[in-house]
A and B are shown apart, each in its own frame.
Chain A
Amino acid sequence: MKGSVKISVQAKRIRFDFTIRRNLTIVRGDSATGKTTLVDMIRQYVDNPSGSPVTVISDVPCAVLEGSLWKATLSGISGSIVFIDEGNDFVSSVDFARAIAATDNYYVIITRESLPALPYSVEEIYGIHYSGRYGSLRQEYNEFYRIYGDI
């Protein structure tokens, strides 16, 4: 996959809009900013193709990678944006770095740990911040911001 991908993830109460620019994006920052909620919403959407209250608008498919069977799951994913929530310790392994190098996916990894095996740029380290109410007054609007500013 090449180029940037715009993604919008929304439900009644909350909405995330962001652009993924490279194959590796790291998301970190304060607790309770919506990182896990974002991954939960994408999982909800992907796991319920027959009907979900979550809408994901993206030119490419989205997927969630997690758990001890990550390698088997990953072998079935291509041309996708792959989200990985914190709590998945495989992200710091050399095994994982090797496995994703052989794929054409983009990866959004939620972690505060440094990942020395992965070649990501500080420009692609983001936080999530609240940006106001969108549309109806009940929908909270969130977006990504560069933690280390524009370089």
Chain B
Amino acid sequence: MLSVFFGQMADAIYNTSAYFQYDYEDSWITDPITREMIRDIDKSCVLDSGVIDSPVLGKIPPVQLSGGVKTLILVRFEKDKIFNASTCGDNCARWLLRIAENEDRTINLRHLMDFGSDPFEIKILNTGDIVRSMSELVPIAGLFV
């Protein structure tokens, strides 16, 4: 399940792009789910572990992926760390839910992310509540961001 702590969190890694630069591994980039995330969010194609074909920027290294995708990759592979997912736009929300579908993940959000209209299950760590829709999430999360 996805657990979210809303607001400032001392233990969370804030600058996810800087963290990604010296942390990512080649196998993370060629992972099938990563390839899908890059295709969906960045509209780009992984050619190999060090080269991604972007329709706008041309051939780029993984460090030049969008901030949102870099954070998603960190959330997927650095299971025990907590990242600032406010570096992710709403278009990353479904991927956060998917990554945490079968394995627990905790993220920090400093804004109200829109998790969409489909039902979901998110634990809000600030209060311990489990919410299943945006109408349940907003009144609680709004107290903290």
A residues touching B (Cβ–Cβ < 8 Å)? 13-14, 28-37, 86-89, 92, 111-114, 140
CA distance A14 to B58 in the complex (A): 11
Give the 4 A-B residue pairs with the shortest CB-CB distance, closest first.
Answer: A31-B68, A30-B89, A32-B66, A87-B15
Which one of A14, A111, A113 lies within 8 Å of B57 (CB-CB)? A14
Q: Chain A interface mostly helix, strand, loop or mixed?
A: loop
In the bound complex, what is the Cα–Cα distance between A13 and B57 (angstroms)?
7
Residue contacts A-B, CB under 8 angstroms, 25 given: A13-B56, A13-B58, A28-B89, A31-B42, A31-B66, A31-B68, A31-B69, A31-B87, A31-B88, A31-B89, A31-B91, A32-B43, A32-B66, A32-B68, A32-B89, A37-B56, A86-B67, A87-B15, A87-B18, A89-B14, A92-B8, A111-B86, A112-B89, A112-B110, A114-B145
Residue of B nearest to A140 (CB): B56
Min C-beta distance of B33 to chain A, whole Å: 16
- Contact partners of A34 in chain B: CB under 8 A: 56
**A88: which B residues are within 8 A, CB to CB?**
15
Q: Contacting B89 at CB < 8 Å: which of A14, A33, A140?
A: A33
What is the distance, in angstroms, from A69's C-beta to the closest C-beta of chain B? 15
Question: What are the residues of chain A within 8 A of B89 when measuring CB–CB?
Answer: 28-33, 112
Starting from the known contacts A113-B86, A114-B145, 12 additional A-B residue pairs (CB-CB under 8 Å) come to: A13-B56, A13-B57, A28-B89, A29-B89, A30-B68, A30-B90, A31-B42, A87-B17, A87-B18, A89-B14, A113-B110, A140-B56
- CB under 8 Å from chain A, chain B span 29-58: 41-43, 56-58
- Contact (Cβ within 8 A) B15 A36: no
Q: Closest residue of chain B to A112, judged by CB? A: B111
Given contacts A14-B56, A112-B86, contact A36 B66 (CB under 8 A): yes
Q: In the complex, what residue of chain B is closest to A29 when comparing beta carbons?
A: B89
Minimum C-beta distance from B5 to chain A (A) = 14
- Bound: A112/B111 CA distance, A: 6
For this complex, into which size category does the number of interface residues on chain B fall?
20 to 34
Report the minimal beta-carbon distance from A91 to chain B, rounded to whole angstroms. 11
Assembled-state Cα–Cα distance A79/B90 (Å): 34
B75 within 8 A of A: no
Residues of chain B within 8 A (CB-CB) of A112 are 86-87, 89, 110-111
The distance in angstroms between the C-alpha atoms of A29 and B89, with both chains bound, is 6
- Cβ of B122 under 8 Å from chain A: no
Measured between beta carbons, the chain B residues less than 8 angstroms from A28 are: 89, 111
Query: What separation, in Å, do the CA atoms of A29 and B41 have in the docked complex?
Result: 13
Instruction: Specify the chain A residue showing the minimal Cβ separation from B18.
Output: A87
Contact residue among B18, B58, B91 (Cβ-Cβ distance under 8 Å from A30): B91
* Complex CA–CA separation, A65 to B67 (angstroms): 18
